[in-house]
Structures are given as structure tokens and as C-alpha cells.
Amino acid sequence: MLMAWIRADEKEFFDNFRADAANNIAPDRLSPEKKKEIFAKSIAKSKHINFINADMIYKLIYDRANESGFAPIFDKATHLVTTNKHILTEDMNINFVFKDPMDNYVYEFMYNNLSLLMMYACYVQISLYSEMAEMDQNYISSLMITNLGAYSGLFLNGKSEMVSFVNESMKEFLECPRCKCKFKLKKAESARFFINEVAKCSECGHEHQFPLRWLLSKVEIELD
């Protein structure tokens, strides 16, 4: 929240930071409307954040009524008994102490939503740093390609634009070092490709390291 506020309105943040910070910048003292305003302004002043909006960020972090958000989980994780109607402790239970270990509903949304929030935080940090020093555009583009490529491979249905980008722009390098066959990156294997730089030949099944980030550093790529 504080990072987003600095990006949204630096002067307003530091005015409050200098005077009664304990009351003025404490996130729990900010109204829902103010939090959403801060998130919206931080998105507007940062580049590349078109995958999430202010309402979604607020619901994921602060809305106890959002069953797929983090507020209910965090509150239950830090309190043995909770009385809020949205996170009421169940009968014969103490929050998470007697939770069925086979009940993994938390993981149905946690990794997906956490990835969105981490990408948002990453691009806001880049935007803040860019105010102090010039950043390498190729690095930012490379980061976007790997982030969005991994996210689409793990969580999105349908065709992946990042997989298509790799297959088209890097096709001359998509050759198996063992059998020498040309191959295309498959979406099912794309997360490992973007995160670990591991490619798998569709002909012989051989897995090998692929210099994705090195290749991206050698060309000028500008993404919106």
C-alpha cells in the first residue's frame, strides 16, 4: 500500500509521512475509497499494468467477503478465533489448527492471485525506480515476456500470445541439440520454459537449456 501511495501521489504521501505518520499513513486508517484511489493512480502512472485494476487489487488484499482473496486467509492465520461474519470460526474448529489437510481449496486461487499482485508490485517498483535513474528497456521487456509467459502458461485458458511470440521470433533457435529437429514451444511446457529456460524437443523428448534471457538481451523489443 505504501509503495503504491508513493507512486500515486508522492507529495501527498510524504506530507502525511512527515506529520503524524502513525495515524496518517497506516493502511488500516485509510478508507476503502482511498485505497482504491491510490491503486488506480499508481496503475495510471506506471507502464504495462493492464492485467489488473484498482477494484480487483482491493478485493484481493482487503475484502473479507471475497472468498478467493487473501484477507480471510490472513485473518484466520493470525487469529485462533475470528468473529467477523465473513470469516467466522467454524464449530469444532480453531482457525487452521484442525483444518483437514486434504482440503486444499486455498490453492485453487492463491497462486493465481498472488502472481497478479506480485506482477503489479514489480511494475510499480520499476516505475518508481525509473524516476531516479534510466532503466534498460530491454530488461523491462524481457521481464514482461517471462512474467506474462509463465502466468499464461500456468493459469490462463486458450492460446498464449507469449508462446506465439517465441515460436515466431525465435524459430531459428528452436532446434534440438540432440536430434537436430526443429520444434515449437507448447503451451503446456511454457511455464518451465519462461521460468527455468528449459525447452523440450517434440520429436525425441530431449530437454535442454534454452538461452531465452540472453537472446532477449540482444534484440530491441518494446511492449505496450
What is the pTM assigned to this prediction? 0.87
Q: Which of 160, 158, 159 is nearest to 146 (CA)?
A: 160
Q: In the chain, where are the structural domains located?
A: 1-117, 136-224
Backbone angles phi, psi at 156, to 5 degrees: -100, 145
Digit-coded pLDDT (tens) for 47-79: 889 999 999 999 999 999 998 999 998 998 899
Cell numbers at residue 88, please?
Answer: 467466522
- Residue with grid cell 510524504, as numbered in its chain: 14
CA distance 224 to 124: 15
pLDDT of 15 above 70: yes
With a pLDDT cut of 90, the percent of the chain lying above it is: 71
> Higher confidence at residue 40 or residue 100?
40
Residue 224 has a pLDDT of 59
The CA distance from 44 to 46, in Å, is: 6
Angle between helical axes of 110-130 and 137-155 (0-180°, round to 10): 170
- Check the CA dihedral 204-158-40-38 and report its sign: negative
Query: According to the model, what pLDDT value does residue 222 have?
Result: 65
The answer on pLDDT for 159 being more than 70 is: yes
pLDDT-derived band of residue 186, with 50, 70 and 90 as boundaries? very high
Q: Please report the pLDDT score of residue 106 as a whole number.
A: 76
